[in-house]
Structure 1
Amino acid sequence: MTATVLPSPAQDTVRPPARPAHRDGNVLRWLGAYTSSMIGDNVFYIALSWAAVHAGTPSQAGLVMSVSAVPRALLMLGGGVVADRFGPRKVVIGSDAVRCAAVLTVAALLLVTGPGLWLLALLAVVFGIVDAVFMPAVGALPARITGRDQLARVQGMRGLAIRSANVLGAPLGGLAVALGGSATAFALAGTLIAVSVPLLILVRMRELPPGEAADPSDRTAWRDLRDGLRHIRGHRVLAPLIAVIALGDLGFVGPLNVGLTLLADRRGWGASGMGWVIAAFGTGAGAAALLLTLRGRLPRAGTIAAVAILGGSVAIGSLAFVPTVAGAVGVALVVGLLAGLSGALCAALIQTLSDPAYLGRVSAVAGIVSLGLAPLGMPVTAAAIGRWGTGPVFVTSAAVCGLGGVLALCVRDLRRAELPR
């Protein structure tokens, strides 16, 4: 389907859209598609984990759940090239269509046969491969459907969609499994992902200005990849911003995932106490997303992001020394608020500062940092806590995270970075 042409980004800097993003039907169609797809993802992983546990041993189930990370990490840079070459909207539509077809096919097979581990592992690998092109395209799409001055608001809306999907997806997946088993849950996941496709078809896209769009006929994929990396390396803000994101995520992921579980166990808070802490973090992150959705823009975005990272790192470090569940809930609320704010501002800066023709590749590099490198810290965090305890490990992780804030403050161009008005 031919995309409806909107004013180019260059024109848009002169004449901003008449309506804010949260009142723009074009953005709301994208938001509906994204939310439905994310809820479907959450239902899918509930169905996959349930089916894997019942088809093999716990270790085999863990392998099935983690196998998708390998192709995702290995292929994501190439996925950024694909998103920039063919357009993020087409890539997202194709990705959702493939994911929907794969999940519905497995749902149909489970109705007539047992859930063999090989089938579940194959499905996980397919999801990992598709995610490698889906995620960079999702990162590049907002800048092509609204004005640059609305991108912070769009990041807030995206954050609300993610939180809503997390809240709704797990209960829906559990209910589907309870009513009809894994096949029903997979069918529900496929249906939710399918809903995104017609909505995305109706989303209008801004065309890139003449000369900025990639021409695949005279360029190789390898050259496109090198050009994208060169674009990041030569940019006075993007290069340090990617480093800030890497440090922040490396210090954040371990304590707030495996570290929190071990902390709750050692404090005797139990699963319910840990659940309250996680809920508080999600509430704080949701509040930050709501703030950006309503305000649309915060002045001195680079400075605010740096201060939020520093404040969040202090809160992460202090979490290990809070003796009660109530205190941990309060600290987690602060962590979620500051982490959600800094994350959304960093994402908005990437959206507004990247050349639109390179945005898929820039999003791919940022995605590899967050989804490829940062999770490697989780087993390291677990091993370190087993040897030295929660206090030293949480403080060390907080220091790594805080280095990101220090770097953001030390790099003048990043510290002074602003979002468009």
Structure 2
Amino acid sequence: MTTVSAASAEALPVERPAHRDGNVLRWLGAYTASMVGDNVYYLALAWAAVRAGSPAQAGLVMAVSALPRALLMLGGGVVADRLGPRRVVIGSDVVRCAAVLGVAALLWLAGPGLWPLAVLALVFGAVDAVFMPAVGALPARVTSRGQLARVQGMRGLAIRFASVVGAPLGGLGVALGGAAAAFGIAGLLIAVSVPLLVSVRVGELPPDDTAGDSTAWRDLVGGLRYIRHHRVLAPLMLAIALGDLGFTGPLNVGLALLADQRGWGASGMGWVLAGFSAGAGAVSLLLTVRGRLPRAGSLAGCSIFVGSAAVGALAYVPNVLGAAGVAMLVGLLTGLSGALCGALLQTQSEPAYLGRVTAVAGLVSLGLAPLGMPLSAAAIGAWGTGPVFVASAAVCALGGVVALAAPALRRAELPH
């Protein structure tokens, strides 16, 4: 399957490692700045919403962005494929920056209010629907296929860095100048990504892939049909859906309830989450250094399956130290499977379909998987943490079974 044009191959040297490629590093700098800005934004939004209304109203504001993101995500994939991912990411960052800075100015001049926060969340969610598929499709256009696993590792390190730096930076902004200052910091960080993205070179699609006068609806249907009939992508999407559905509930709401029942408190939960982040970060570093792991399909399936056992075991660990160790194992295995699945999505997809493929994967993770959180909370209230963690682990394990049972996916390799 041909996934890059001859022109792309000439523009993007195959032999240069991604971590030494200035083009990739400019993309990584833009992505990191944008992700740190996102983390600051979410903290500022939560703080401002709590100060402006009741807890229920604050929760509603925080949830507003999820609806347009879920409804528009597939269409966003079509937009990314039609206009090109770099153009879409630049436009999205400009809109997000303007919206955040506008609300920062409004809060600075008029004080807190729920309606501008709700509008901001709504705009952010709608823009995310096109931003996220484009972000997922961009790496394949800035480097060679053989470097995509390394780029996934670099992207994972950027995400971990953003989560570590973003929250304290947002807290500092709130402490110095309230939510308006924090929003201002978020907007400026997002703005930093724009000139970096403008300087990034991207490989062009082959003319045959971009030609045609089809409508957006036909493009959307064509993308879904492409995934459904693909021998690797179809089972890979199902494996991702099952893995995320079984993983999200226990590691979010379930962990908070477990920490409360065990008497670990917020600090204990923080240590467990730190263990998970350390494991995921270590895998990202490994992929950044190694660049490629053999037998990617079977390794991803095994990682999902073994990681599910670690998720189930987490509910039966009696102390914080042991739970942090198990969480580190969960981070290692889920981080490995996530990075490999992401790299396989990138390398198995035709470039002209990457935006739509990324949109479907994002919808699965951000649309279906979060449904497990309220279900997990209700189930834990009825049956306790142990049985629910085990049931969730079983769902997650099904994802590994699907990956290992599909011959084409099991034998899938990352390019050299």
TM-score (norm 1): 0.96
Aligned with 1:95 (options 83, 92, 110):
92
Structure-1 residue corresponding to 2:374: 379
Q: Are positions 1:168 and 2:165 aligned together?
A: yes
8 Å contact from structure 1 (residues 313, 401) kept in 2: yes
Secondary structure at the residue paired with 2:293? coil
8 Å contact from structure 1 (residues 16, 149) kept in 2: no
Structure-2 residue corresponding to 1:121: 118
* Matched letter for residue 193 of structure 2: S
Q: Distance in 2 between matches of 1:201 and 1:16?
A: 20
Q: Distance in 2 between matches of 1:348 and 1:256?
A: 23
Q: In the TM superposition, what is the alpha-carbon distance from 1:387 to its structure 2 partner?
A: 0.3
Aligned with 2:49 (options 45, 49, 52):
52
Aligned with 1:295 (options 290, 308, 329):
290
8 Å contact from structure 2 (residues 209, 352) kept in 1: yes
* Matched letter for residue 155 of structure 1: Q
Structure-2 residue corresponding to 1:108: 105
Write the mapping of 1:47-86 to structure 2, written as runs, cut at 5 A: 47-86=44-83
Q: In the TM superposition, what is the alpha-carbon distance from 1:108 to its structure 2 partner?
A: 0.8
When the two chains are superposed, the root-mean-square deviation of aligned CA atoms in Å is: 1.3
8 Å contact from structure 1 (residues 241, 408) kept in 2: yes
Write the mapping of 1:368-407 to structure 2, written as runs, cut at 5 A: 368-407=363-402
Aligned with 2:153 (options 151, 156, 163):
156
Structure 1: state its 5+ residue gaps.
Answer: 1-6
8 Å contact from structure 2 (residues 153, 339) kept in 1: yes
TM-score (norm 2): 0.98
The count of aligned residue pairs is: 413
* Matched letter for residue 227 of structure 1: G
Secondary structure at the residue paired with 1:212? helix
Aligned with 1:349 (options 335, 338, 344):
344
Structure-2 residue corresponding to 1:135: 132
Secondary structure at the residue paired with 1:144? helix
Structure-2 residue corresponding to 1:4: none
Q: Are positions 1:322 and 2:346 aligned together?
A: no
Residues 180-210 of structure 1 show CA distances to partners (whole Å, capped at 9, x for unaligned) of: 0011000000000000000000000101112
Q: Distance in 2 between matches of 1:51 and 1:326?
A: 35
Residues 14-47 of structure 1 show CA distances to partners (whole Å, capped at 9, x for unaligned) of: x952310010000000000000000000000111
- The percentage of counterpart residues that share the same residue type is 75
8 Å contact from structure 2 (residues 137, 355) kept in 1: yes
How has the CA–CA distance of structure 1 residues 265 and 353 changed in structure 2, closer, same or farther, with 3 Å as cutoff?
same
Q: Distance in 1 between matches of 2:345 and 2:393?
A: 24
* Matched letter for residue 63 of structure 1: L
Write the mapping of 1:173-252 to structure 2, written as runs, cut at 5 A: 173-215=170-212, 218-252=213-247
Secondary structure at the residue paired with 2:208? coil
Structure-2 residue corresponding to 1:286: 281
Residues 249-303 of structure 1 show CA distances to partners (whole Å, capped at 9, x for unaligned) of: 0000000000000000001111100000000000000001011000000000001
Q: Are positions 1:411 and 2:400 aligned together?
A: no
Q: In the TM superposition, what is the alpha-carbon distance from 1:214 to its structure 2 partner?
A: 4.8
Secondary structure at the residue paired with 1:22? helix
